[in-house]
C-alpha cells in the first residue's frame, strides 16, 4: 500500500475463532491503520488447523486496503497441500508470504513431519513452484531458536533460508535490544543484507508472557519479571509498565535505524497503540 522511505511498520494477527471475534479483529485493525502498516500478516496453525481461518482473515484485511500476508508452515504438510495453498494465495492476488517450519502439534509423531523439514526447504519449494511471485519473509532468532544446538548453528540455518530466497526477516520477540544488534551484526558478517525487522511483543499479561517466552526461548529480563510479579493481578499497572518498557526499547531500536518494527498485536489494538503512541514517529 503506502511506500515508505523510513522504517516500515507491520502488524501480525491470528485467525479469530468465530464471527464475533472476526468482527472485533476488523475493528481493532481499523484503529491500527494510524500506524500506516506496510503490510499485515496472519498466523497459520501448523498442520493446517487454521487454513480457512488464515485465508478468511487475509481476505478481510485485504478488503480494508492492507497488503496482507498469510503465514505458511511446512511441518506436517505434504507438498500437494502446500502447492494447493500457494496456488490459492496466488489466485487471490496475495504477493507476500511468511514462510515457517512451524511446530509439530503435540501428539503427532516425528514421522508426520512432512516432506519439507525446515523453513529453508519451504523457501526453496516456494521459489521452485512460484518463482518471484511472492515476497518471502522468514523468522530470525536473536536469542537463538530453542531447539538449535548453538547460536552459530542457528545463524547458519538462518543464512540458509536467506540463500534459499527469503527477501526479509522478522525476529522472534526480545526485550534486550543488544541481542538484536548482535544478531544483525553476525548475520551481516555472513553476507546477509536483507532487512531483519525486530518483532515486538506488547506486555499485557504476566502469566501468558512467561508461558510464551518459556516455549519460544525469549528471555524476559530478571528486573522485568520481578516488577511484573510484584504487580500481581493489577492489570492496569502491568499494561502501563509494559507499555513503558516496550516503547522505550522500540525507540532505541528506531534511533539505531532498524528497517522497521513488526508488532505481534495478539489481535489487541490497545496494547499495540499504547506503544505506538509513545514513539517519536507517531
DSSP state of 7: P
The reply on whether position 96 binds ligand FAD by CB under 6 A is: no
- Identify whether the C-beta of residue 203 lies closer than 8 Å to the C-beta of residue 248: no
Q: Could you tell me how many residues of this chain bind ligand FAD (CB under 6 A)?
A: 24
Neighbours of 93 (CB within 10 A): 7
Residue placing its CB nearer to ligand FAD in the complex, 49 or 277: 49
Per-residue binding letters, 123-142, with ligand FAD (x by CB under 6 A):
----------------x---
52 in catalytic set: no
The reply on whether position 43 binds ligand FAD by CB under 6 A is: yes
Instruction: For residue 254, give Cα distances in angstroms to 134, 161, 184, 208, 266.
Output: 27, 26, 14, 27, 22
Please state, in angstroms and rounded to a whole number, the distance separating the CA atoms of residues 210 and 99: 26
The reply on whether position 267 binds ligand FAD by CB under 6 A is: no
CA-based nearest residue to 201, from 229, 179, 172: 172
Residue placing its CB nearer to ligand FAD in the complex, 100 or 261: 100
The reply on whether position 102 binds ligand FAD by CB under 6 A is: yes
Which listed residue (12, 124, 137, 143) is catalytic? 12
Neighbours of 56 (CB within 10 A): 16
- Identify whether the C-beta of residue 41 lies closer than 8 Å to the C-beta of residue 71: yes
Minimum distance from residue 103 beta carbon to ligand FAD (Å): 5
Per-residue binding letters, 196-225, with ligand FAD (x by CB under 6 A):
---x--------------------------
The reply on whether position 62 binds ligand FAD by CB under 6 A is: no
CA-based nearest residue to 246, from 224, 213, 269, 231: 224
The reply on whether position 145 binds ligand FAD by CB under 6 A is: yes
**H/E stretch holding 40:** strand 39-42
Binding site for ligand FAD (CB under 6 A): 43-44, 46, 71, 73, 98, 100-103, 118-120, 139, 145, 147-148, 153-154, 157, 161, 170, 172, 199
Catalytic residue positions, numbered: 12
Amino acid at each position: 500500500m503506502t511506500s515508505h522511505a523510513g522504517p516500515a511498520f507491520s502488524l501480525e494477527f491470528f485467525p479469530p475463532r468465530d464471527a464475533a471475534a472476526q468482527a472485533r479483529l476488523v475493528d481493532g485493525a481499523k484503529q491500527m491503520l494510524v500506524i500506516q502498516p506496510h503490510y499485515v500478516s496472519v498466523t497459520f496453525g501448523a498442520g493446517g488447523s487454521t487454513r480457512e481461518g488464515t485465508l478468511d482473515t487475509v481476505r478481510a484485511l485485504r478488503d480494508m486496503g492492507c497488503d496482507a500476508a498469510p503465514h505458511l508452515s511446512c511441518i506436517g504438510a505434504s507438498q500437494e497441500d502446500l502447492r494447493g495453498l500457494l496456488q490459492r494465495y496466488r489466485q487471490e492476488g496475495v504477493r507476500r508470504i511468511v514462510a515457517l517450519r512451524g511446530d509439530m502439534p503435540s501428539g503427532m509423531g516425528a514421522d508426520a513431519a512432512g516432506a519439507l523439514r525446515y523453513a529453508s526447504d519451504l523457501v526453496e519449494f516456494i521459489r521452485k513452484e512460484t518463482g518471484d511471485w511472492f515476497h518471502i519473509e522468514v523468522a530470525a532468532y536473536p536469542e537463538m531458536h530453542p531447539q538449535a544446538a548453538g547460536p552459530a548453528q542457528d545463524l547458519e540455518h538462518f543464512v540458509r533460508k536467506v540463500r534459499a530466497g527469503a527477501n526479509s526477516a522478522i525476529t522472534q520477540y526480545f526485550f534486550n535490544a543488544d541481542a538484536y544488534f548482535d544478531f544483525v551484526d553476525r548475520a551481516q558478517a555472513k553476507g546477509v543484507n536483507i532487512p531483519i525487522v525486530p518483532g515486538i511483543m506488547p506486555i499485557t499479561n504476566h502469566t501468558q508472557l512467561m508461558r510464551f517466552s518459556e516455549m519460544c526461548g525469549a528471555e524476559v529480563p530478571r528486573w522485568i519479571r520481578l516488577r511484573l510479579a510484584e504487580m500481581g493481578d493489577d492489570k492496569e499497572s502491568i499494561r502501563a509498565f509494559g507499555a513503558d518498557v516496550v516503547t522505550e526499547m522500540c525507540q532505541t531500536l528506531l534511533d539505531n535505524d532498524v528497517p522497521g518494527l513488526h508488532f505481534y498485536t495478539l489481535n489487541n489494538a490497545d496494547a499495540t497503540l499504547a506503544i505506538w503512541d509513545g514513539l517519536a514517529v507517531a
